[in-house]
Amino acid sequence: MTNMFKKVLTGCIAFCCLTGSTGVLAQDKIVDQIIAVVGSNIIMKSDIEGMYMQNQAQGVTTEGDMKCEILENFLVEKLLLAEAELDTTIIVTPSQINQTMDERMQYFIKNLGSEQAVEKYFQKSIAGVKADLEEVIRNQHMTSQMRRKIIDKVSVTPAEVRYKYRNMEKEKVPMVEAQVEYAQISVFPSITLEEENEIKSRLREFKKRVEDGESFSTLAVLYSEDPGSAANGGELGYLGRAQLDPAYAATAFNLKEGRVSNVVRSEYGYHIIQLVGRRGEQINTRHILIMPKPSPEAREKADNSLDSLASIIRKGKITFETAALHYSADKNSRNGGGIAINPYTMSSKWKNEELEPNVSKVLAGMKDNEISDPFSSVDENQRLVYRIVKLISRLKEHRANLQEDYQYLHDLYLQEKQEESINKWVSEQQSKTYIHIDDTYMNCNFKFKGWKK
């Protein structure tokens, strides 16, 4: 159930979050000292050394002096933080901190294996790691809001995009990777009543075992089919109602702490839920998920029905778009003629690595406007689904042009203007803010010259 909660949290961000201001990742043997002061905020030697060691461990390389680059990144962040602390419109609530804290801790536990492994890795208790994280998370929210405020009014007009493109040297026009556009019709194999009743019976048995004294967490590890939470005893961390499946949320928010729900059906399958804790408008729950498995007969029926539909479309008796509207089970694409929208870019274009593997394999051998035979794959919720697809277009790797890649060029230029806006702001703020850098770093070749005063 990885996609039940629409969160994007990369490993780099999650681990880097422990390096700022607190020196959490720094080695004990480092003799700490203040390297720089920006306003009322300080940068410690341990901050720089901790990030440097992390970069080395991840194989990060640079053409310049890495420690100088790390320091400048911290200087920019501290400059943003100094201004954010003076801005009364920038507010970070305890709820925001708690939510991010839980996301980070869940990430650590998932990737390191257990709370004990997290404590061993950071050489601190969980409470200690959280204590170090609290200020870092607050500062990250502050600087993030400050960045957004700086670039909030930056925009790009179509005329600017055209002018920028037409005045760009040919060899500097960016390359666009090969992409495809496709439409789909999806059908879920039906689930028998017997299968549903068997799942409900198993979950009722698990509920009784918990009420008789067994550990919900242990049962979740052993039996839950949610790969995102099973290893963590079924625990999801603190989430708001909007971050949960509606049916799941409706039941979970009405539970009392420690109580286990009756069987709940969501888009992902069947669950029992235990409320772990409540913080304002967020709850932490454990769950055991069992996903219904269609019978071989149901799978064959889904395959045959799509095969017949594909044949009718090929004969021109119905258009693919009309068939998608009336027969596709994919609510995200059926109202748009079946055109699949890429969740990473919100466009209809897909790079090969962004496609579900079976979809990619089928599209690779197709021509424009060709309709595939039925095939099985999984949807974004890891449910078995049968599809037929129509290849709309295939774009080879090419230099960007206004006709095919306007949105790509627009976003690229917008990012450039946003970066220019941030750079201008940094340069202006340097002259207004107290900044002191230790002599050991005065020979750094910084991007922004105003650090040295």
CATH class of 193-290: alpha beta
DSSP state of 447: S
| Domain ranges (residues) in the chain | 2-155+415-451, 179-190+295-399, 193-290
For 282, list phi and psi in degrees, rounded to 5.
-125, 150
Structure tokens at 210: 């918990």
pLDDT at 345: 83
pLDDT at 28: 45
Q: Which residues are within 8 A (CB) of 70 and not within 5 positions of it... i.e. 6 or more apart?
A: 48, 51, 52, 55
pLDDT at 57: 64
pLDDT tens-digit map of 202-245: 999 999 999 999 999 999 999 999 988 888 899 988 888 888 99
Q: Is the pTM of this model over 0.85?
A: no
- d(C-alpha 430, C-alpha 36), whole Å: 13
2-155+415-451: in CATH 1.10.4030.10:
yes
179-190+295-399: in CATH 3.30.365.10:
no
- d(C-alpha 370, C-alpha 362), whole Å: 11
- d(C-alpha 123, C-alpha 405), whole Å: 49
pLDDT tens-digit map of 252-297: 999 999 999 999 999 899 999 999 999 888 899 999 999 999 999 9
Q: Fold match between 179-190+295-399 and 193-290?
A: yes
